[in-house]
Structure 1
Amino acid sequence: MSAHQSIKQLQSSMQSSIIGQEAVVKGILLSLLCNGNILLEGLPGLAKTRAVKSLAQHLVADFSRIQFTPDLLPSDITGSEMYLGESSSERFEFKPGPIFANIVLADEVNRAPAKVQAALLEAMEERQVTVSGETHKMAPLFMVMATQNPIEQEGTYPLPEAQMDRFLMHISIDYPSDEDERLVMRLVRGESGAGAAEKEAIEVAQEAVFGAREEIEGIEISEAMEQYIVSLVAATRRPSELDADLGRMIQVGVSPRGSIALDKAARAHAWLEGRSSVIPDDVRAVIGDCLRHRIGLSYEAQAEGVTSDEVIARIVKLVAVA
């Protein structure tokens, strides 16, 4: 089985256990294929944690879940040096924490204090952690999937812009449709029923992910598509040149990481759709998830209830393909 067939099988298996959230499943897979981290944001009960666990269930990989709380310490996630005693040849031994897994679920990540955020940031960006002056590398397949509640602010520590920028994608999860909700009830009823048949979980090997990443590197992106990405990002930095009303909505534009994220995600999307080169539809399909957490809205826009998604939609409408 080819890498593309394996990843499509993984996508199908995840969608069967997460009803009505096809875009979320695709976003998670794109982040995995791009070797990036992802932030899932949505109200309680919208299957954020289930989506992460679904990926871990169908992928041959180590999985760990960290419930972030205000009293969490950096050593609780990175691990610590353990004293072995005077008689031991090595006085101390490093005991890895839950961050040392292939897929790490950082549940309610905005509930952790600054020092824990800093430890997580090093793992996300450098793919390593430093404990007692010693550096410990993460596994070749390593992905942080963080969740947060957009409305619960009591006892939370808002993520700093520097950490938000480290997430390749920020996926916003909304309510399912009425029909999908009915299917969700049936799915859960079937899973919890006494006579429910055990289904054999389809597991995809890590080698399929690594093979897919190599193939994605070979996806072509023309100069016109490169210029299109640059123009979209530039519109967030100089919005007044595009539209006066847009200019008063944006306070901080997208960093170069946004351009890199768009390039990676667009190529991964083209590969997932079976294309050998990037087209404008690939860029438009991922621009929301790649840029919504990188645009700083003005106080005026926030007061009017304008969202990043609305600003991005307007930019896409105004910026033409070269």
Structure 2
Amino acid sequence: MRPLLDVRDLHITVRGLHAVRGVSFTVRAGEALAVVGESGAGKSLTARAVLGLLPAGAEMRGSVRFGGREWVGAPQSAYRELRGRRTAFVPQDALSVLSPVHTVGEQLALAVRSVRRGIGRKAAFAAAVAALDRVGIADAGRRARAYPHEFSGGMRQRAVIAMAMINEPELVFADEPTTALDPTVQAQILTLLGDIRKETGAALVLITHDLGTVVGHADRVLVMYAGRPVESGPVAEVFTAPLAPYTAGLIASLPLVHTARATGRRLPSIAGAPPSLSALPPGCAFAPRCPAAEHSCTKTPPEPAVAAAGRTVACHRRGELPVPLTRLFEESAA
């Protein structure tokens, strides 16, 4: 089956900085892909490139095919037909989307009327109420007449999800949708996204820095570091047997409280910080932080290679290191 979204060798330059370098991935109809990495990995920029929402002065090259059409180089007028109707975006900060001077229902109704030409105000507002009810907001008819500041953080995020899904898009990008929420509400929002995805058949690209949110909420995962792809594959396989040291470090640093209590060890972590885009090392960008790096790793960046069916990894030492790779970081925390 042809992918709904097919991104090949995507490069993005912003103000002279090569922010995204050689990213490739596919998303099929109804599938959930998680894009994971630390801040500055290029996750959000990649999503915005697909939606035609890059900042002024940014340039991209490569291939982005959605629905069988090439979108690199497409005019903004074409993107306006794409956004809202066939694709949607859920940001991490709901208040950056919701206007404080209009009720939540008015804003959802506007999203309906911008796509469904000819629909009346009453019908659009009724659709807004139904959308709020769909995402679990109690007494949706009354809440639709409230302003964003009258909603809790979790309710605002639900309202933004309702706005994204109200026109039943084929593909939804959710950019850190649970960052500002407490753990209980985080779980509710992620479950809600999954339930709506299954109900509507929409594909989902979940962008997150937290690998813990991926399990149970995504089918496949793409790990990025310093603008480059590091590893990709089915979630269960990547979690149980990571092939790249960076992926192993992210998994090892997950705060599993029961494990920490049982061993009495401090939580493993990845030393250092991601490099600045203005001072990228000549070889593997992760080499300065990698406990398995050798001198050869610092010469040229590793290219993604097929490691197994459905899995790719970009590491000069792939296949050489002992498994499980998480031991590289667990031993440092002993």
Scaled by the length of structure 1, what TM-score is found? 0.37
Scaled by the length of structure 2, what TM-score is found? 0.36
Q: Which structure has greater strand proportion?
A: 2
